[in-house]
Every structure is written in structure tokens, then in C-alpha cells.
Amino acid sequence: MHGWLVIWLLPCLVQETGAAQRSAAREPLPSMVIKPARVFDGEVMHEGWAVRVKGDRIEAAGPEAAAGVADAKVIELPGATLLPGLVEGHSHVLLHPYNETTWNDQVAHEGLALRAARAVNHLAATLMAGFTTIRDLGTEGAGYADVELKQAVEQGIIPGPRMLASTRAIVATGSYGPKGYALEWRVPQGAEEADGVDSLTRIVRDQIGHGADWIKLYGDYRWGPHPGSHPTFSLDEMKLAVETAKSAGVPVAVHTSTPEGMRRAILAGAETIEHGNDGTPEIYKLMVEHHVALCPTLAAGDATSQYSGWKKGQMAEPPGIARRRASFKAALDAGVTILSGSDVGVFTHGDNARELDLMVEYGMPATGALKAATSVAGRVLHMDIGLVKPGMFADLIAVEGDPTRDISALRRVKFVMKGGAVHKQ
């Protein structure tokens, strides 16, 4: 009887939740004053501050922010730190953990509707974890589903963070996957293949036409007869793709881990480098000179190493993790701009704070890690987010404790606001 009742009620609950989301999207938001114990404004910590929100923006922040608004709703957050909503700089909402299903099988054997249904849950989990903005860097075989999921969030149909979409991502022909099929078969790929002047120009324009906020290129990958990653696109091809995208005001992110792939991406004008596993001091110096940010995705390597049998805390670090740790330290020493991004989807959505834990574990000060997910992220992504100051989007979260002293406080999220609407309290 109880099982039948749950099945009968579930569509009603989903319908009511959707209606509430759509209603919230239409109704004017009340003015609010938030009073936490302290405020991290994206740069520094402040005691005794309040934050006043009007509509979807921050109207005032500081000791006097609570004054003069008699009709505002007051939200008391004793003992908590208020900070900008966190940013996930490298997400794949249409993937789920590789220890559940391998990437190859997700792309080749899971249908689009199934993957989109999972992604709805992924978006909600991400928002509830305090990540109010994500840059999704490739649907991995799911077409333009990221753009439509973004539309669903914007229309209030489903809860989720702000989304920057990159649609299908772009790879050099023959370099990607899924692999393992008979050679005479042409298997649909996890990204869109392109080469040379005509093809790259057309595909960059086509992805922008389908709603891409960023263009993602794979500057190297595991291809060819030799082990490891090797560069794919030539420097001239990369320059062409970047120039074409910038004509529409669209920035370019490049997946690359090899020094040569990174060098080409930097010189081509990419704005971010994803992964950078084997970056060298010379390459990082070049990144600083050209104002290119690094999105390190430390959590992805940590997760896949554990999937492969590494018992963290019980066994010595695998060589790949040791190299990653050394490379990240070299980036910090060189003064490279760090954008927090984890490659979530490789591991569980909602566990995005894993990346910030690792950045601190690998030698980054906690305040630096917080900036990488707030003020620095807002600047790198060209968005009005990441700072608690007037005029910015009212994307705010509160956590128990002080994350500048203990980064694990980011796992104790007690309040989430996005665009002035409270999603968790």
C-alpha cells in the first residue's frame, strides 16, 4: 500500500516543485538583509557585516547594510560565514562517476533522455552544495543537451546553478573516442571532429550558433601509436579557432596536459588551459606573460587513481599524482592565475568541494583556494559573480565555520541563494 502511494504521489510532487520554480521565476523577489557572523567578500574576511539584497542583485554590503530598510526580510545566520556562491570551472553534468559506468559505455550505450534525466539531479546536487555557477565543458556525446538544460534552469523548470555551455567540444579527427569497435565502423564520437581552415571555422561558428558560451578545444589527447598524450591541432589551427570564436565574443578553453599542447594553446590566445598535468616552470611563465588561467582539475586525477586501486592514505602516491602535485606547485610558484575546476562527472556531482580540498592539500593557501572559486572565477569567466559588493548577482552561500581557516567548512553549507532566490535555508 505504501509503495503504491509513493508512486501515485511522486508525479504530483514533481509537478508542484516545477510549478513553484516557475512561479518563483515570475514573482518579484522581496528585499532581504542577511546577517551572518562574518562575510568573506571574495577577497578578504569581514566581521560585523550584513548584506542587503534587492531583486537579483546585491544592493549593499558592510556594517551599515542592515540600516534603513524597514520592510526587508531578515535572515539571521549566527556562527556562519557568508561568501559568494562557489564556481565550478570545469563540469560535465551529463557524465556520472566512472566507477559506476566507464566513459566509453556512458557515451556509447546510454541514451540522451537517460543522460539528461541524470543531469537534472546533478544540477540540483551542485546547487545544494553551494556551487551557484558552473562552466560545463562538453556534453561528451550528448549533443547540445547542455544548452537546453541551461534553458530549463533559466526558465525555472528545474533548480540548478548558472550555466556556461560549450556544447559538443571540438577534437581533431581520429583522436577521440569511444574506442574498441571494428575499424570499418564509424562510431559517433564524444566530441565534434574538425580539421583545417574550412572545417574548424564552420564548426566553431555552428557551436556558437547552437548556444555555446565557451568553445572547448582538445589540444592534445591519447592518440597515435605511442603511449601518453600528444598534440592534436597545429598552432595555426588553434589560432584560427580562437580568432573565429572571438569574433562573436566567445572565449576558448583548451584541454591540454603536454608542454607542447599548452604552448600552442597559450600562443593561440586561449583564455584557460584545462588540466595542465605536465606543465613546466617555463610553460607556466609563458601563461603568466599571456594572462592565461589554469583550471587544474586535481580531483579528477585523485578520483581515477582511486578507481584504479590506489588506497589513499594507506598506500604511497602513484607517480601520476606525485607529478600532478609537483606541477601544481610549479604553477603556484610562477604566479599563474588559478580557476577552481574539478572535472566533476568523473566523480560525484555535489562533491565539487573536493577540488578546493586538494588545492589546499597540494600547497595553496585556503584564502587563495576560496578566491579561485569566487572572485578570480568571476573575473576569468567574465561574469558579475564572485564578489560580495553592490551590483553583483546575489549569489550567496553560508557555511558553518570559517573556510579561510578550515577549507572543509565548504562542506557544511547551510544557506544557498542564487539571483536573490533562496534555495536552501
Q: What is the pLDDT along the chain (425 residues), one digit of tens a residue?
A: 344 333 333 344 344 344 345 444 557 788 999 999 999 999 999 999 999 999 999 999 999 887 767 788 999 999 999 999 999 999 999 999 999 999 999 999 999 999 999 999 999 999 999 999 999 999 999 999 999 999 999 999 999 999 999 999 999 999 999 999 999 999 999 999 999 999 999 999 999 999 999 999 999 999 999 999 999 999 999 999 999 999 999 999 999 999 999 999 999 999 999 999 999 999 999 999 999 999 999 999 999 999 999 999 999 999 999 999 999 999 999 999 999 999 999 999 999 999 999 999 999 999 999 999 999 999 999 999 999 999 999 999 999 999 999 999 999 999 999 999 999 98
Packed helices 298-307 and 319-334: angle between N→C axes, nearest 10 degrees: 170
Residues 341 and 402 in one domain: no
Q: Is 393 inside any structural domain?
A: yes
Per-residue pLDDT at 225: 92
Q: How many CB atoms lie within 10 A of CB 218?
A: 24
CA 8 to chain centre: 36
Domain boundary pick from 352, 380, 398? 352
| pTM to 2 decimal places | 0.93
Are 119 and 232 part of one and the same domain? yes
- Claim to verify: residue 209 and residue 262 sit in the same structural domain: yes
Separation of alpha carbons 173 and 170, rounded Å: 9
Asked if 80 and 134 sit in the same domain, the reply is no
- Considering the domain architecture, whether residues 79 and 43 belong to the same structural domain is answered as yes
Same domain? For 76 and 186 the reply is no
Check whether residue 67 and residue 90 sit in a common domain: no
For residue 117, the model assigns a pLDDT of: 98
Structure-block grid coordinates of residue 161: 546553478
- The owner of cell 565555520 is 401
Q: Is residue 362 part of a domain?
A: no
C-alpha cell read off for 73: 526580510
Q: What is the pLDDT of residue 26?
A: 58
Give me the residues paired with residue 188 across strands: none
* Spatial strand order in the sheet of 272-275: 192-194, 170-172, 215-218, 252-256, 272-275, 293-295
Could you tell me if 72 and 95 lie in one domain? no
Tell me which residue of 247, 299, 248, 250 sits closest to 271, measured CA to CA.
250
Asked, for residue 365, whether it belongs to a domain, the answer is no
The answer to whether residues 131 and 204 belong to one domain is: yes
Q: Return the CATH number at 254.
A: 3.20.20.140
Which pLDDT does position 69 carry in this prediction?
72
Does 358 reside within a domain? no
Rounded Cα distance, 150 and 211, in Å:
10
Beta strands 73-84 and 57-62, pairing class: unpaired
One domain for residues 324 and 259: yes
The pLDDT assigned to 29 comes to: 81
Supply the range of the domain harboring residue 66. Answer: 2-84+389-424
**Amino acid in the structure at residue 66:** A
Q: Establish if 26 belongs to a structural domain.
A: yes
Here the cell at position 237 is: 589551427
Q: Is residue 368 part of a domain?
A: no
What is the domain-level CATH number for residue 19?
A: 2.30.40.10
Amino acid 15: pLDDT: 40
Last residue of a domain, one of 327, 352, 377: 352
Give the integer Cα–Cα distance in Å for 251 and 32: 35
* 263 & 212 share domain: yes
Grid cell digits, residue 134: 558552473
Do 74 and 103 reside in the same domain of the chain?
no
Reading phi first (left if > 0) and then psi (alpha if -120 to 50, else beta), residue 344 is in beta
Domain final position from 299, 332, 352: 352
What three-state secondary structure class fits 172? strand
Residue 377 lies in a domain: no
- 316 within domain boundaries: yes
Which residue, among 116, 121, 115, has the nearest Cα to 101 in the 3D structure? Answer: 115
Residues 163 and 139: their CA atoms lie apart, in Å, by 13
Residue type, 257: S
Domain count, the chain: 2
